[in-house]
Structure 1
Amino acid sequence: MSFFYSTHAVKKYTVLSAGTSRETALAALHNHGLLISLNPLVISFGPISGPEDSPPATKHYEIEDRVYLMPGKLWPSEVKYTAEFTDEEDGVRVVTHAPMGFEGRTKWSVEEVEGGFAIVEDATLRCPMPLMPFIKATSKSSHDKMHVSLSEKIEKGEVKY
């Protein structure tokens, strides 16, 4: 039932250093393996077949994360989930489905800002209410680190996986 669900929206900007090209930033976002592997929670991933009616441009992956269910990295657990990546002209759209009713919809894009470009992550997370504090905290921590790693890779031109 939908009234047991909670939704959280987050938008994060990471400004790239001057001189970083839009093309290099887009190449990083279109490199699904790079984007997935930069999430510090990910311990494995691989391509999978999508539904027959899936658009050919959409690529499907099974991803496994290691999460800690208690503060202080206590009670580690592995969780497998699927993600659909669809490259777009200005970035990539990702739809994630995980156990216990979690769904994430994220648009990663490259936007022009004063003096250069920024990586923008615009996400909507939806899950049962009791899970939302854990989802928000885990997502914020991992994606903050991911933005730092991604911007470093882009600025160094290391966008091949």
Structure 2
Amino acid sequence: MFSFNTTTNLHHVTLLPRGTEFQHALSHLHNHDLLIRLDPELAHYETLPADPANPNAKRYKVTDHMHTLPKGLWDTTVAFEADITDTDDGILWAIKAPLGLVQRTTWRLLKTETLAQEDVGGVAESERGEWSLVEDVEIKANRMLVGTVKGKCEENWRGVHARFVGHLKGEAVKS
């Protein structure tokens, strides 16, 4: 049977700076305000009441500017619910957006030495930090929408990760 819905997966790895400590990076991942504000399309957000079915998650209503979506699909902004759950090695971020879009993203801190060679991108061992930020994204939506959302994720992830690393470096310099 033909389905108009599909799923796509993305995998992104960013090497963290030498000297980054696990707890320091984890505290940044558990800072939901920081994570939400890393989004280059963020208009604003607000905290929502906890969901009794998922008491470990913090809930947010996030509004993004979405000027690149196909005309008429959404307004120039889109509001969606985001549940962020802290984990032992990062976060799980679940988004439920209009038109049936469901996106699950994990950001985890992994030892760089455990990653595959293609994940570290040929970076010389002498330049690698001990930790890496690993982002895995699963997007489920209508076939027409998945391509647009995937494109936005691919367009933005490097900048988002770079801003996260910048926060790590900025605090490391101060302390």
With normalisation by structure 2, the TM-score equals 0.81
Q: Bigger radius of gyration, 1 or 2? A: 2
- Partners of 1:32 and 1:23 in 2: CA distance: 16
CA distance in 2, matches of 1:21, 1:70: 39
Structure-2 separation of matches of 1:53 and 1:131? 28
Please give the per-residue CA displacement for 1:68-106, whole angstroms capped at 9, x wherever unaligned: 1369xxx97100000001101101111100001100011
Quote the Cα distance in structure 2 between the aligned partners of 1:2 and 1:144: 35
Match of 1:134 among 143, 148, 152: 148
Decide which structure has greater strand share.
Answer: 1
Please tell me whether residue 20 in structure 1 is matched to residue 20 in structure 2: yes
User: Which residue number corresponds to residue 108 of structure 2?
Assistant: 109
- SS at structure 1 position matched to 2:50: coil
Written as runs of structure 1 = structure 2, the 5 A alignment for 1:60-99 is 60-69=59-68, 77-99=76-98
Unaligned runs of 5+ in 2: 114-128
The verdict on how the C-alpha distance between 1:152 and 1:116 changes in structure 2, with shifts beyond 3 A counting, is same
Task: Report deviation, 1:2.
Answer: 8.4
Match of 1:49 in 2: 49
4+ residue runs of structure 1 moved beyond 4 angstroms? none
Label 1:152 to 1:54 Cα distance change in 2 as closer, same or farther (>3 A): same
SS class of match (2:19): coil
Q: Is residue 153 of structure 1 aligned with residue 164 of structure 2?
A: no
Q: Does the residue aligned with 1:109 lie in a helix, a strand or coil?
A: strand
SS at 2:66 equivalent: strand
What's the % identity of the aligned pairs?
A: 29
User: For the residues of structure 1 that align with 2:164 and 2:25, how far apart are their CA atoms?
Assistant: 9
Structure 1 length normalisation: TM-score? 0.88
Alpha-carbon distance in structure 1 between the residues aligned to 2:96 and 2:167: 27
- Gap runs ≥5 in structure 1: none
Q: Is the 8 A contact 2:100 2:142 kept in 1?
A: yes
Change (3 A) 1:133 1:49: same
Q: What is the CA RMSD across the aligned residues, in angstroms?
A: 2.1
In 2, Cα distance between the equivalents of 1:2 and 1:140?
27
Aligned residue in 1 for 2:57: 58
| Shift in Å, 1:132 | 1.7
